Amino acid sequence: MKRTIDEIVNLDLERYERAGKPEAIFAEQKSVEDLLNIVREIQKEGKSTLVTRLTREQIGALKNLDGVEVNERGRIAVVGEKKVEVIGKVAILTAGTSDVPVAEEAAVTAEFLGLKVLRFYDVGVAGLHRIVEPVKRIRNEKVDSVIVVAGMEGALPSVIAGLVDVPVIAVPTSVGYGVNFGGISTLFAMLQSCSSGVAVVNIDNGFGAAVFASLISRVKWKSAGKG
């Protein structure tokens, strides 16, 4: 029997007004039919949201909908309009190219929430000279926070936190060989950061890192009397 939208979802349409962040649709484990029904319901209400962790089949289906912008590499889609007013700035760094999908999830989320994003990809500790120019840009551009996405031994957030004077949000990824345990060893390494000022989100959670970054910028923006 076909289910109605009310039987599969209870939308929280006022989350942005209440908590400064929108309701996001986590697409994994959802059928294409259920996902499309949820997206159409949000569109009908005139709201904007993000859809994260999309499968290839879901991406194909969403591409056929008007008013939906899909970032295939980040497995994320924007439904409706992004926040027009820029409230801050974040830099996003990855240790390697394999970490870029998680970084793109973070970048799309940050832009959706009103942040200007500076991207610096493949600047990990295996070639430490590569972080010199990004750090210069980060200082000169006066970002509010830095998101650092890394797998393997997860050393890059500690290095960056020792060079900048803004909060560093570390994102461990599931990138690595067997002893990486799907990102668990990277998560533990980041939690043990020798540099202070590092906050750590869950494995592959680019979305969560970007929401945290947006809240940092939002506090500064509001304290400046703009919100």
| Residue 2 pLDDT | 59
> CA neighbours within 13 Å on the CB side: how many for 141?
20
Segments of the chain with pLDDT less than 50: none
Cβ contact 90:118 at 8 Å: yes
| Residue 5 pLDDT | 63
**Nearest residue to 177 (alpha-carbon basis) of 186, 169, 168:** 186
Cβ contact 88:65 at 8 Å: no
| Residue 21 pLDDT | 80
What are residue 183's phi and psi, to 5 degrees?
105, -5
| Residue 227 pLDDT | 67
All residues at 6 or more sequence positions from 73 whose CB lies less than 8 Å from its CB, including other chains: 100, 101, 104
Q: What is the DSSP letter of 29?
A: T
Cβ contact 134:123 at 8 Å: yes
